[in-house]
A = this chain, B = another copy of it.
Amino acid sequence: MKIGLAQLNIHVGNFKANTEKIISALHTAEAQGAELVVYSELSICGYPSRDFLEFDDYITKCKEAIIEIAAHTSQTAVLIGAPQRNPNPEGKDLFNSAWFLYQGRVQHITHKTLLPTYDVFDECRYFEANTTFELVEFKGKKLAITICEDIWNVGNDNPLYTTCPMDELVKLKPDIMLNLSASPFSYQQHSERMNVIRANCLRYNLPMIYVNQVGAQTELIFDGGSVAVDQKGDIIKQLKFFEEEISIADTDVSHPPPVIHPPSPISLIHDALVLGIRDYFAKLGFKKAVLGLSGGIDSALVLCLAVEALGRDNVLSVLLPSAFSSGHSVEDSLQLVKNLGSPHEIISIEAPFQSYLDTLKPFFKELPFNVAEENLQARVRGTLLMAMSNKFGYILLNTTNKSEAAVGYGTLYGDMCGGLAVIGDVYKTQVYELSRYINRNAEVIPFNIITKAPSAELRPGQKDSDSLPDYDILDQVLYQYIEKRQGPKELVQMGFDKPLVDRILRMVNMNEWKRFQAPPILRVSPKAFGMGRRMPIEGKYLG
Protein backbone atom coordinates (compact mmCIF):
# COMPACT_ATOMS: atom_id res chain seq x y z
CA MET A 1 0.00 0.00 0.00
CA LYS A 2 1.21 3.49 -0.84
CA ILE A 3 1.09 5.49 2.38
CA GLY A 4 1.82 9.20 2.71
CA LEU A 5 3.70 10.37 5.77
CA ALA A 6 2.62 13.95 6.55
CA GLN A 7 5.19 15.40 8.95
CA LEU A 8 3.78 18.86 9.62
CA ASN A 9 4.56 21.82 11.85
CA ILE A 10 1.27 22.37 13.67
CA HIS A 11 0.39 25.58 15.53
CA VAL A 12 -1.48 24.83 18.78
CA GLY A 13 -5.07 26.08 18.60
CA ASN A 14 -4.69 27.63 15.15
CA PHE A 15 -7.49 25.58 13.61
CA LYS A 16 -7.75 27.56 10.39
CA ALA A 17 -4.06 27.37 9.50
CA ASN A 18 -3.72 23.76 10.65
CA THR A 19 -6.71 22.57 8.66
CA GLU A 20 -5.52 24.29 5.49
CA LYS A 21 -2.07 22.78 5.91
CA ILE A 22 -3.51 19.30 6.53
CA ILE A 23 -5.73 19.44 3.44
CA SER A 24 -2.89 20.78 1.32
CA ALA A 25 -0.65 17.90 2.49
CA LEU A 26 -3.41 15.45 1.61
CA HIS A 27 -3.57 16.77 -1.96
CA THR A 28 0.23 16.73 -2.26
CA ALA A 29 0.40 13.10 -1.15
CA GLU A 30 -2.57 12.17 -3.33
CA ALA A 31 -0.80 13.64 -6.36
CA GLN A 32 2.14 11.33 -5.56
CA GLY A 33 -0.15 8.30 -5.51
CA ALA A 34 -0.86 7.91 -1.80
CA GLU A 35 -3.85 5.71 -0.94
CA LEU A 36 -3.71 6.71 2.73
CA VAL A 37 -2.07 9.72 4.40
CA VAL A 38 -0.96 9.43 8.04
CA TYR A 39 -0.49 12.51 10.25
CA SER A 40 0.94 13.00 13.73
CA GLU A 41 -0.74 12.73 17.14
CA LEU A 42 -3.40 15.37 17.89
CA SER A 43 -2.40 17.21 14.74
CA ILE A 44 -5.83 18.80 14.32
CA CYS A 45 -5.20 21.04 17.36
CA GLY A 46 -1.47 20.59 18.00
CA TYR A 47 0.43 18.89 20.79
CA PRO A 48 0.47 19.84 23.62
CA SER A 49 -2.78 21.79 23.72
CA ARG A 50 -2.62 21.63 27.53
CA ASP A 51 -5.66 23.13 29.35
CA PHE A 52 -7.23 24.37 26.11
CA LEU A 53 -8.49 20.77 26.08
CA GLU A 54 -10.76 21.65 29.02
CA PHE A 55 -12.79 24.05 26.87
CA ASP A 56 -15.80 22.49 25.23
CA ASP A 57 -15.52 25.04 22.41
CA TYR A 58 -11.98 23.81 21.66
CA ILE A 59 -13.14 20.21 21.26
CA THR A 60 -16.00 21.36 19.04
CA LYS A 61 -13.51 23.20 16.82
CA CYS A 62 -11.49 19.97 16.51
CA LYS A 63 -14.60 18.12 15.37
CA GLU A 64 -15.47 20.83 12.84
CA ALA A 65 -11.97 20.58 11.37
CA ILE A 66 -12.29 16.80 11.06
CA ILE A 67 -15.53 17.15 9.14
CA GLU A 68 -13.91 19.71 6.84
CA ILE A 69 -10.92 17.42 6.18
CA ALA A 70 -13.11 14.33 5.71
CA ALA A 71 -14.81 16.09 2.80
CA HIS A 72 -11.49 15.80 0.91
CA THR A 73 -11.13 12.02 1.33
CA SER A 74 -13.17 10.71 -1.58
CA GLN A 75 -10.04 9.18 -3.19
CA THR A 76 -7.47 9.01 -0.46
CA ALA A 77 -7.97 8.05 3.17
CA VAL A 78 -6.65 10.08 6.11
CA LEU A 79 -5.50 8.88 9.52
CA ILE A 80 -5.17 11.88 11.82
CA GLY A 81 -4.92 12.67 15.52
CA ALA A 82 -7.59 14.64 17.41
CA PRO A 83 -9.31 14.44 20.80
CA GLN A 84 -12.68 12.73 21.02
CA ARG A 85 -15.27 13.26 23.73
CA ASN A 86 -15.65 10.23 26.01
CA PRO A 87 -19.26 9.08 25.59
CA ASN A 88 -19.17 7.06 28.85
CA PRO A 89 -20.63 8.58 32.02
CA GLU A 90 -17.45 7.87 34.01
CA GLY A 91 -13.81 8.68 33.46
CA LYS A 92 -11.99 11.66 31.96
CA ASP A 93 -13.88 13.75 29.39
CA LEU A 94 -11.69 12.92 26.40
CA PHE A 95 -9.86 10.24 24.49
CA ASN A 96 -6.62 10.93 22.63
CA SER A 97 -7.67 9.46 19.30
CA ALA A 98 -6.68 8.59 15.75
CA TRP A 99 -9.48 9.31 13.28
CA PHE A 100 -9.70 7.24 10.08
CA LEU A 101 -11.43 9.33 7.40
CA TYR A 102 -12.44 8.02 3.98
CA GLN A 103 -15.07 8.72 1.34
CA GLY A 104 -16.14 11.86 3.14
CA ARG A 105 -16.88 10.21 6.49
CA VAL A 106 -15.32 9.21 9.79
CA GLN A 107 -14.88 5.44 9.31
CA HIS A 108 -13.17 4.49 12.56
CA ILE A 109 -11.76 6.03 15.74
CA THR A 110 -8.88 4.42 17.67
CA HIS A 111 -8.06 5.62 21.20
CA LYS A 112 -4.66 5.82 22.86
CA THR A 113 -4.06 3.17 25.51
CA LEU A 114 -0.86 4.22 27.29
CA LEU A 115 -1.08 7.80 28.59
CA PRO A 116 2.30 9.24 29.60
CA THR A 117 2.07 11.18 32.86
CA TYR A 118 5.62 12.04 33.83
CA ASP A 119 8.20 14.70 32.99
CA VAL A 120 6.58 17.07 30.45
CA PHE A 121 3.57 14.80 29.87
CA ASP A 122 0.20 15.28 31.61
CA GLU A 123 -2.05 12.96 29.61
CA CYS A 124 -3.91 11.49 32.60
CA ARG A 125 -4.98 15.05 33.33
CA TYR A 126 -7.12 15.08 30.17
CA PHE A 127 -7.60 11.63 28.69
CA GLU A 128 -9.23 8.33 29.54
CA ALA A 129 -7.22 5.25 28.52
CA ASN A 130 -8.41 2.88 25.83
CA THR A 131 -9.09 -0.73 26.85
CA THR A 132 -10.43 -2.41 23.67
CA PHE A 133 -8.55 -3.38 20.52
CA GLU A 134 -9.66 -3.49 16.89
CA LEU A 135 -8.01 -3.29 13.48
CA VAL A 136 -9.11 -1.10 10.60
CA GLU A 137 -9.57 -2.78 7.22
CA PHE A 138 -8.70 -0.70 4.18
CA LYS A 139 -8.24 -1.86 0.59
CA GLY A 140 -7.71 -5.45 1.70
CA LYS A 141 -5.09 -4.61 4.34
CA LYS A 142 -5.60 -4.81 8.08
CA LEU A 143 -4.12 -1.81 9.87
CA ALA A 144 -2.96 -1.84 13.51
CA ILE A 145 -3.24 1.76 14.69
CA THR A 146 -1.40 3.01 17.78
CA ILE A 147 -0.65 6.45 19.20
CA CYS A 148 2.84 7.46 20.36
CA GLU A 149 3.44 5.91 23.86
CA ASP A 150 1.38 2.82 22.81
CA ILE A 151 4.45 1.31 21.12
CA TRP A 152 6.79 2.12 24.04
CA ASN A 153 5.92 -0.98 26.07
CA VAL A 154 7.18 -3.53 23.56
CA GLY A 155 7.13 -6.98 25.12
CA ASN A 156 5.81 -5.39 28.31
CA ASP A 157 9.34 -4.27 29.21
CA ASN A 158 8.26 -0.79 30.38
CA PRO A 159 7.66 -0.99 34.13
CA LEU A 160 5.16 1.88 34.01
CA TYR A 161 2.47 -0.05 32.18
CA THR A 162 0.52 -3.28 32.53
CA THR A 163 -0.79 -3.38 28.95
CA CYS A 164 1.01 -3.75 25.61
CA PRO A 165 -1.40 -2.54 22.90
CA MET A 166 0.48 -4.20 20.00
CA ASP A 167 0.44 -7.56 21.85
CA GLU A 168 -3.36 -7.28 21.76
CA LEU A 169 -3.60 -6.00 18.20
CA VAL A 170 -1.26 -8.65 16.79
CA LYS A 171 -3.74 -11.37 17.84
CA LEU A 172 -6.08 -9.92 15.17
CA LYS A 173 -3.40 -10.52 12.49
CA PRO A 174 -2.68 -7.04 11.12
CA ASP A 175 -0.63 -6.40 7.95
CA ILE A 176 0.82 -2.99 8.82
CA MET A 177 1.45 -0.99 11.97
CA LEU A 178 0.69 2.74 11.90
CA ASN A 179 1.82 5.01 14.74
CA LEU A 180 0.87 8.68 15.19
CA SER A 181 3.37 10.42 17.45
CA ALA A 182 4.20 13.71 19.12
CA SER A 183 7.55 12.70 20.53
CA PRO A 184 9.58 15.71 21.67
CA PHE A 185 13.29 16.02 21.02
CA SER A 186 16.00 15.40 23.54
CA TYR A 187 19.56 14.53 22.67
CA GLN A 188 19.00 10.89 23.54
CA GLN A 189 15.46 10.55 22.18
CA HIS A 190 16.43 9.96 18.55
CA SER A 191 18.32 6.70 19.08
CA GLU A 192 15.87 5.43 21.74
CA ARG A 193 12.98 6.06 19.38
CA MET A 194 14.60 4.10 16.53
CA ASN A 195 15.35 1.23 18.91
CA VAL A 196 11.70 1.07 19.97
CA ILE A 197 10.39 1.20 16.39
CA ARG A 198 12.78 -1.56 15.26
CA ALA A 199 11.96 -3.71 18.28
CA ASN A 200 8.26 -3.50 17.38
CA CYS A 201 8.86 -4.44 13.72
CA LEU A 202 11.02 -7.41 14.67
CA ARG A 203 8.76 -8.65 17.49
CA TYR A 204 5.61 -8.59 15.34
CA ASN A 205 7.29 -9.22 11.97
CA LEU A 206 5.38 -6.26 10.54
CA PRO A 207 6.26 -3.00 8.81
CA MET A 208 5.58 0.26 10.63
CA ILE A 209 4.70 3.74 9.40
CA TYR A 210 5.74 6.16 12.15
CA VAL A 211 4.72 9.83 11.76
CA ASN A 212 6.05 12.35 14.26
CA GLN A 213 5.12 16.00 14.75
CA VAL A 214 7.73 18.57 13.77
CA GLY A 215 8.13 22.11 15.09
CA ALA A 216 8.55 23.79 18.45
CA GLN A 217 5.78 24.58 20.92
CA THR A 218 7.51 27.00 23.34
CA GLU A 219 9.55 24.66 25.56
CA LEU A 220 9.05 21.47 23.56
CA ILE A 221 10.80 20.92 20.23
CA PHE A 222 9.44 18.17 18.03
CA ASP A 223 12.11 16.91 15.68
CA GLY A 224 10.12 14.98 13.10
CA GLY A 225 12.35 12.25 11.70
CA SER A 226 9.32 10.16 10.73
CA VAL A 227 10.12 6.75 9.24
CA ALA A 228 8.76 3.79 7.37
CA VAL A 229 10.41 0.58 8.58
CA ASP A 230 9.99 -2.89 7.12
CA GLN A 231 9.34 -6.09 9.03
CA LYS A 232 13.07 -6.78 9.27
CA GLY A 233 13.56 -3.48 11.09
CA ASP A 234 15.20 -1.77 8.11
CA ILE A 235 14.33 1.84 7.36
CA ILE A 236 12.72 2.12 3.93
CA LYS A 237 11.95 5.83 4.20
CA GLN A 238 13.52 8.43 6.48
CA LEU A 239 11.96 11.89 6.67
CA LYS A 240 13.94 14.98 7.58
CA PHE A 241 14.68 16.21 11.08
CA PHE A 242 13.38 19.65 12.17
CA GLU A 243 11.62 20.28 8.82
CA GLU A 244 8.22 19.63 7.37
CA GLU A 245 8.06 16.88 4.78
CA ILE A 246 5.42 14.91 2.94
CA SER A 247 6.67 11.62 1.56
CA ILE A 248 5.30 8.31 0.29
CA ALA A 249 6.30 4.82 1.41
CA ASP A 250 5.13 1.69 -0.42
CA THR A 251 4.82 -1.15 2.07
CA ASP A 252 4.34 -3.74 -0.71
CA VAL A 253 7.63 -3.11 -2.48
CA SER A 254 10.85 -4.34 -0.99
CA HIS A 255 13.33 -1.48 -0.95
CA PRO A 256 17.06 -1.66 -0.57
CA PRO A 257 17.51 0.16 2.76
CA PRO A 258 18.81 3.71 2.14
CA VAL A 259 22.15 4.60 3.68
CA ILE A 260 21.33 6.65 6.77
CA HIS A 261 24.00 8.74 8.46
CA PRO A 262 22.69 9.38 11.95
CA PRO A 263 23.37 13.00 12.83
CA SER A 264 25.74 13.74 15.72
CA PRO A 265 24.13 14.64 19.05
CA ILE A 266 25.68 18.12 19.03
CA SER A 267 24.35 18.88 15.53
CA LEU A 268 20.89 17.72 16.64
CA ILE A 269 20.99 20.04 19.67
CA HIS A 270 22.10 22.88 17.41
CA ASP A 271 19.32 22.25 14.91
CA ALA A 272 16.75 21.87 17.68
CA LEU A 273 17.67 25.22 19.23
CA VAL A 274 17.52 26.99 15.86
CA LEU A 275 14.05 25.56 15.24
CA GLY A 276 13.01 26.41 18.79
CA ILE A 277 13.87 30.07 18.27
CA ARG A 278 12.37 30.23 14.79
CA ASP A 279 9.03 28.73 15.80
CA TYR A 280 8.72 30.76 19.00
CA PHE A 281 8.92 33.93 16.92
CA ALA A 282 6.83 32.71 14.00
CA LYS A 283 4.02 31.35 16.16
CA LEU A 284 3.85 34.53 18.26
CA GLY A 285 3.97 36.68 15.10
CA PHE A 286 7.36 38.31 15.76
CA LYS A 287 10.33 38.69 13.42
CA LYS A 288 13.07 40.47 15.32
CA ALA A 289 15.15 39.65 18.38
CA VAL A 290 17.37 41.69 20.65
CA LEU A 291 19.97 40.38 23.07
CA GLY A 292 22.69 41.68 25.32
CA LEU A 293 26.13 40.75 24.04
CA SER A 294 28.52 40.60 26.98
CA GLY A 295 31.69 39.34 25.36
CA GLY A 296 31.15 35.97 27.04
CA ILE A 297 30.52 32.66 25.35
CA ASP A 298 26.83 32.26 26.31
CA SER A 299 25.54 35.38 24.58
CA ALA A 300 27.90 34.75 21.65
CA LEU A 301 26.37 31.32 21.12
CA VAL A 302 22.80 32.60 21.46
CA LEU A 303 23.51 35.31 18.90
CA CYS A 304 24.82 32.75 16.38
CA LEU A 305 21.79 30.51 16.89
CA ALA A 306 19.39 33.46 16.59
CA VAL A 307 21.05 34.67 13.37
CA GLU A 308 20.60 31.19 11.89
CA ALA A 309 16.96 31.10 13.01
CA LEU A 310 15.84 34.61 12.13
CA GLY A 311 18.40 35.98 9.66
CA ARG A 312 21.35 38.28 10.35
CA ASP A 313 19.36 41.49 9.86
CA ASN A 314 16.74 40.49 12.38
CA VAL A 315 18.93 40.11 15.45
CA LEU A 316 20.13 43.24 17.22
CA SER A 317 23.04 42.85 19.61
CA VAL A 318 23.32 45.43 22.34
CA LEU A 319 26.67 45.83 24.08
CA LEU A 320 26.16 47.17 27.60
CA PRO A 321 29.58 47.81 29.05
CA SER A 322 30.21 48.99 32.61
CA ALA A 323 33.28 50.03 34.56
CA PHE A 324 33.84 46.38 35.42
CA SER A 325 33.78 45.16 31.82
CA SER A 326 37.16 44.05 30.59
CA GLY A 327 38.55 45.78 27.51
CA HIS A 328 38.31 42.50 25.64
CA SER A 329 34.55 42.24 26.17
CA VAL A 330 33.69 45.02 23.75
CA GLU A 331 36.39 44.15 21.20
CA ASP A 332 35.41 40.48 21.13
CA SER A 333 31.73 41.34 20.77
CA LEU A 334 32.44 43.74 17.92
CA GLN A 335 34.48 41.09 16.15
CA LEU A 336 31.60 38.61 16.52
CA VAL A 337 28.92 40.90 15.05
CA LYS A 338 31.36 41.77 12.27
CA ASN A 339 31.84 38.06 11.52
CA LEU A 340 28.08 37.57 11.42
CA GLY A 341 27.26 40.81 9.61
CA SER A 342 24.48 41.55 12.11
CA PRO A 343 23.57 44.94 13.59
CA HIS A 344 24.66 46.17 17.01
CA GLU A 345 24.38 49.12 19.36
CA ILE A 346 26.51 50.13 22.32
CA ILE A 347 24.67 51.55 25.33
CA SER A 348 26.64 52.37 28.44
CA ILE A 349 24.99 51.40 31.71
CA GLU A 350 27.04 53.88 33.72
CA ALA A 351 24.59 56.82 33.92
CA PRO A 352 21.50 54.87 35.07
CA PHE A 353 23.66 52.71 37.37
CA GLN A 354 25.18 55.81 38.98
CA SER A 355 21.76 57.41 39.22
CA TYR A 356 20.46 54.40 41.16
CA LEU A 357 23.47 54.52 43.48
CA ASP A 358 22.87 58.23 44.12
CA THR A 359 19.14 57.69 44.66
CA LEU A 360 19.75 54.80 47.05
CA LYS A 361 22.66 56.37 48.94
CA PRO A 362 20.48 57.88 51.71
CA PHE A 363 19.06 54.38 52.34
CA PHE A 364 22.15 52.22 51.74
CA LYS A 365 24.30 54.72 53.72
CA GLU A 366 27.85 53.38 54.13
CA LEU A 367 27.00 49.70 53.75
CA PRO A 368 29.64 47.91 51.65
CA PHE A 369 29.20 47.13 47.92
CA ASN A 370 27.58 43.70 47.71
CA VAL A 371 25.09 41.63 45.77
CA ALA A 372 22.64 44.57 45.76
CA GLU A 373 25.00 46.66 43.62
CA GLU A 374 25.95 43.65 41.48
CA ASN A 375 22.30 42.96 40.76
CA LEU A 376 21.65 46.64 40.04
CA GLN A 377 24.04 46.50 37.09
CA ALA A 378 22.35 43.39 35.72
CA ARG A 379 18.94 45.04 36.17
CA VAL A 380 20.01 48.21 34.38
CA ARG A 381 21.03 46.01 31.46
CA GLY A 382 17.73 44.10 31.62
CA THR A 383 15.75 47.34 31.73
CA LEU A 384 17.64 48.89 28.79
CA LEU A 385 17.15 45.73 26.72
CA MET A 386 13.45 45.62 27.58
CA ALA A 387 13.13 49.32 26.65
CA MET A 388 14.56 48.52 23.21
CA SER A 389 12.24 45.51 23.02
CA ASN A 390 9.16 47.59 23.91
CA LYS A 391 10.06 50.51 21.65
CA PHE A 392 10.84 48.52 18.53
CA GLY A 393 8.89 45.27 18.96
CA TYR A 394 11.83 42.92 19.47
CA ILE A 395 11.63 39.82 21.63
CA LEU A 396 14.51 39.78 24.11
CA LEU A 397 16.48 36.53 24.05
CA ASN A 398 17.72 35.24 27.37
CA THR A 399 21.26 33.84 27.43
CA THR A 400 21.36 31.94 30.75
CA ASN A 401 22.86 28.45 30.50
CA LYS A 402 21.68 25.38 32.43
CA SER A 403 24.59 25.33 34.87
CA GLU A 404 23.88 28.93 35.95
CA ALA A 405 20.14 28.36 36.07
CA ALA A 406 20.74 25.29 38.24
CA VAL A 407 22.79 27.04 40.91
CA GLY A 408 21.00 30.39 40.74
CA TYR A 409 23.98 32.25 39.31
CA GLY A 410 22.03 35.05 37.70
CA THR A 411 19.99 38.13 38.56
CA LEU A 412 16.22 37.92 38.52
CA TYR A 413 14.82 40.82 36.43
CA GLY A 414 18.39 41.35 35.23
CA ASP A 415 20.18 38.81 33.07
CA MET A 416 17.24 36.47 33.72
CA CYS A 417 14.98 38.71 31.60
CA GLY A 418 13.78 37.58 28.21
CA GLY A 419 10.95 36.02 26.26
CA LEU A 420 12.79 32.77 25.62
CA ALA A 421 15.77 31.13 27.32
CA VAL A 422 17.60 29.72 24.32
CA ILE A 423 20.33 27.72 26.08
CA GLY A 424 18.70 27.24 29.49
CA ASP A 425 18.84 23.46 28.97
CA VAL A 426 22.47 23.47 27.78
CA TYR A 427 25.16 22.97 30.42
CA LYS A 428 28.19 25.28 30.29
CA THR A 429 30.39 22.42 29.07
CA GLN A 430 27.90 21.84 26.24
CA VAL A 431 27.95 25.58 25.48
CA TYR A 432 31.64 25.15 24.61
CA GLU A 433 30.87 22.10 22.47
CA LEU A 434 28.15 23.96 20.59
CA SER A 435 30.44 26.95 20.08
CA ARG A 436 33.11 24.72 18.57
CA TYR A 437 30.39 23.24 16.35
CA ILE A 438 29.39 26.77 15.24
CA ASN A 439 33.07 27.29 14.34
CA ARG A 440 33.39 23.95 12.51
CA ASN A 441 34.03 25.61 9.14
CA ALA A 442 35.36 29.03 10.13
CA GLU A 443 36.03 31.17 13.19
CA VAL A 444 32.60 32.76 13.65
CA ILE A 445 32.82 33.06 17.43
CA PRO A 446 36.19 34.70 18.09
CA PHE A 447 38.66 32.29 19.59
CA ASN A 448 39.23 34.66 22.52
CA ILE A 449 35.58 34.38 23.58
CA ILE A 450 35.93 30.59 23.75
CA THR A 451 39.20 30.55 25.65
CA LYS A 452 38.74 33.35 28.21
CA ALA A 453 37.77 32.48 31.80
CA PRO A 454 34.01 32.88 32.36
CA SER A 455 33.05 36.01 34.33
CA ALA A 456 29.85 37.90 35.15
CA GLU A 457 31.95 41.14 35.26
CA LEU A 458 29.85 42.67 38.04
CA ARG A 459 32.82 43.59 40.25
CA PRO A 460 36.53 44.14 39.57
CA GLY A 461 38.38 41.02 38.43
CA GLN A 462 35.40 38.72 39.10
CA LYS A 463 35.56 35.13 37.77
CA ASP A 464 32.82 32.46 37.88
CA SER A 465 35.37 30.18 39.54
CA ASP A 466 35.48 32.55 42.57
CA SER A 467 32.06 31.37 43.69
CA LEU A 468 31.31 28.24 41.64
CA PRO A 469 33.08 24.89 41.36
CA ASP A 470 34.83 24.21 38.05
CA TYR A 471 32.21 23.69 35.37
CA ASP A 472 33.67 20.27 34.48
CA ILE A 473 32.84 18.96 37.95
CA LEU A 474 29.74 21.10 38.50
CA ASP A 475 28.10 19.89 35.30
CA GLN A 476 28.72 16.23 36.16
CA VAL A 477 27.11 16.61 39.58
CA LEU A 478 24.21 18.62 38.12
CA TYR A 479 23.66 16.02 35.40
CA GLN A 480 23.48 13.19 37.93
CA TYR A 481 21.15 15.15 40.21
CA ILE A 482 18.86 16.70 37.58
CA GLU A 483 18.79 14.24 34.67
CA LYS A 484 19.45 11.03 36.63
CA ARG A 485 17.73 11.92 39.90
CA GLN A 486 20.66 10.70 41.99
CA GLY A 487 20.66 11.83 45.61
CA PRO A 488 23.55 12.85 47.88
CA LYS A 489 24.42 9.28 48.91
CA GLU A 490 24.64 8.01 45.34
CA LEU A 491 26.75 11.01 44.28
CA VAL A 492 29.27 10.42 47.05
CA GLN A 493 29.36 6.73 46.11
CA MET A 494 30.25 7.82 42.57
CA GLY A 495 33.34 9.49 44.01
CA PHE A 496 32.29 13.13 44.24
CA ASP A 497 33.47 15.05 47.29
CA LYS A 498 30.72 15.15 49.97
CA PRO A 499 30.99 18.85 50.97
CA LEU A 500 30.95 19.79 47.29
CA VAL A 501 27.91 17.60 46.59
CA ASP A 502 26.04 19.05 49.57
CA ARG A 503 26.90 22.58 48.47
CA ILE A 504 25.78 22.05 44.87
CA LEU A 505 22.51 20.28 45.72
CA ARG A 506 21.75 22.98 48.27
CA MET A 507 22.30 25.68 45.64
CA VAL A 508 19.99 23.88 43.21
CA ASN A 509 17.19 23.43 45.75
CA MET A 510 17.47 26.92 47.23
CA ASN A 511 17.03 28.57 43.85
CA GLU A 512 13.69 27.10 42.86
CA TRP A 513 12.09 30.48 43.68
CA LYS A 514 14.31 32.17 41.13
CA ARG A 515 13.75 29.59 38.38
CA PHE A 516 9.99 29.87 38.98
CA GLN A 517 10.15 33.29 37.31
CA ALA A 518 12.60 32.36 34.53
CA PRO A 519 11.53 32.56 30.89
CA PRO A 520 10.49 29.38 29.10
CA ILE A 521 13.52 27.21 28.30
CA LEU A 522 14.01 25.30 25.03
CA ARG A 523 14.16 21.65 26.12
CA VAL A 524 16.92 19.56 24.54
CA SER A 525 17.69 17.13 27.39
CA PRO A 526 15.62 14.39 28.99
CA LYS A 527 15.11 16.65 32.05
CA ALA A 528 14.94 20.40 31.55
CA PHE A 529 13.97 23.14 33.98
CA GLY A 530 10.39 24.06 33.18
CA MET A 531 7.16 22.15 32.71
CA GLY A 532 8.84 18.74 33.11
CA ARG A 533 10.48 19.43 36.47
CA ARG A 534 8.06 20.46 39.22
CA MET A 535 9.69 21.33 42.49
CA PRO A 536 8.45 22.93 45.70
CA ILE A 537 9.82 26.44 46.28
CA GLU A 538 9.63 26.33 50.06
CA GLY A 539 10.76 22.71 50.34
CA LYS A 540 13.50 22.18 52.87
CA TYR A 541 14.90 18.96 51.34
CA LEU A 542 18.72 19.24 51.02
CA GLY A 543 18.25 23.01 51.17
Residues from chain B with a CB closer than 8 A to the CB of A360 are: 347, 384, 387-388, 391
Contact between chains at A91 and B162 (CB < 8 Å): yes
A335 at interface (Cβ–Cβ under 8 A)? no
A92 / chain B contacts, CB cutoff of 8 Å: 160
Is there a chain B Cβ closer than 8 Å to A519's Cβ? yes
Contact B383 A541 (CB under 8 A): no
Taking A12-B536, A348-B359 as given, write out 19 further A-B residue pairs in contact, using a Cβ cutoff of 8 Å, ordered by the A residue number: A12-B539, A13-B540, A13-B541, A14-B539, A15-B541, A52-B535, A56-B485, A56-B490, A89-B159, A91-B162, A117-B125, A218-B538, A280-B538, A284-B537, A351-B358, A352-B356, A360-B388, A383-B413, A517-B517
User: How many Å from the CB of A373 to the closest CB on chain B?
Assistant: 8
Say yes or no for A323: interface residue by CB 8 A criterion: no
Instruction: Answer whether residue A68 sits at the interface, using C-beta atoms and an 8 A cutoff.
Output: no
Question: Whole-angstrom distance between the alpha carbons of A536 and B117 in the complex?
Answer: 17
Instruction: Report A363-392 residues with CB < 8 Å from chain B CB.
Output: 363-364, 367, 370-372, 375-376, 379-380, 382-384, 386-388, 390-391
Query: Which candidate, A43-51, A173-181, A468-476, is the interface stretch facing chain B?
Result: A43-51
List the B side residues contacting A279 at CB < 8 Å.
538
Residue of B nearest to A360 (CB): B387
> What distance in Å separates the Cβ of A61 from its nearest Cβ neighbour in chain B?
8
Taking residues whose C-beta sits less than 8 angstroms from the other chain, chain A's interface range is 35 or more
Residue of B nearest to A481 (CB): B55
Whether, in the assembled complex, A341 has its beta carbon less than 8 Å from a beta carbon of chain B, the answer is no
Supply 25 A–B pairs (Cβ within 8 Å), ascending by A: A13-B536, A13-B539, A13-B540, A14-B540, A14-B541, A51-B535, A54-B485, A56-B485, A56-B487, A90-B159, A91-B159, A92-B160, A117-B122, A118-B125, A122-B122, A122-B125, A124-B124, A217-B538, A218-B538, A347-B360, A352-B355, A364-B387, A376-B383, A383-B383, A517-B517
| Cα of A114 to Cα of B167 in the assembled complex, Å | 28
Whether A513 lies near B419 (C-beta < 8 A) is yes
A217 to B11, CA, bound (A): 35
A489 is an interface residue with CB less than 8 A from chain B: yes
Residue of B nearest to A124 (CB): B124
Query: Does the CB pair B417–A541 fall under 8 Å?
Result: no
- Report the bound CA distance from A449 to B376 in whole Å: 32
Q: Is the CB of A51 within 8 A of B534?
A: yes
Which A residues, 80 to 137, have Cβ-Cβ distances below 8 Å to chain B? Answer: 89-92, 117-118, 122, 124-125
Contact B122 A534 (CB under 8 A): yes
A17 at the interface (CB under 8 A from B): yes
Docked pose: A83 CA to B50 CA in angstroms: 28
Residues of B within 8 A of A376 (CB): 383, 387
Partner of A90, one of B11, B161, B218, B513: B161
Query: How far is A457 from B15 in the complex, measured between Cα atoms in Å?
Result: 39
Residues of B within 8 Å of A89, CB to CB, are: 159
Query: Do residues B536 and A284 form an inter-chain contact, with CB atoms below 8 A?
Result: no
Closest chain B CB from A479 CB (angstroms): 15
Q: Is the CB of B217 within 8 A of A536?
A: yes
Distance in angstroms between the alpha carbons of A193 and B252 in the assembled complex? 61
Interface set, chain A 298-354, CB cutoff 8 A to B? 345, 347-348, 351-352, 354
Q: Does A58 belong to the interface (CB within 8 Å)?
A: yes
Nearest-neighbor residue (CB-CB) of A532 within chain B: B51
A52 touching B541 in the complex, CB below 8 Å, given contacts A159-B90, A161-B90, A390-B375: yes
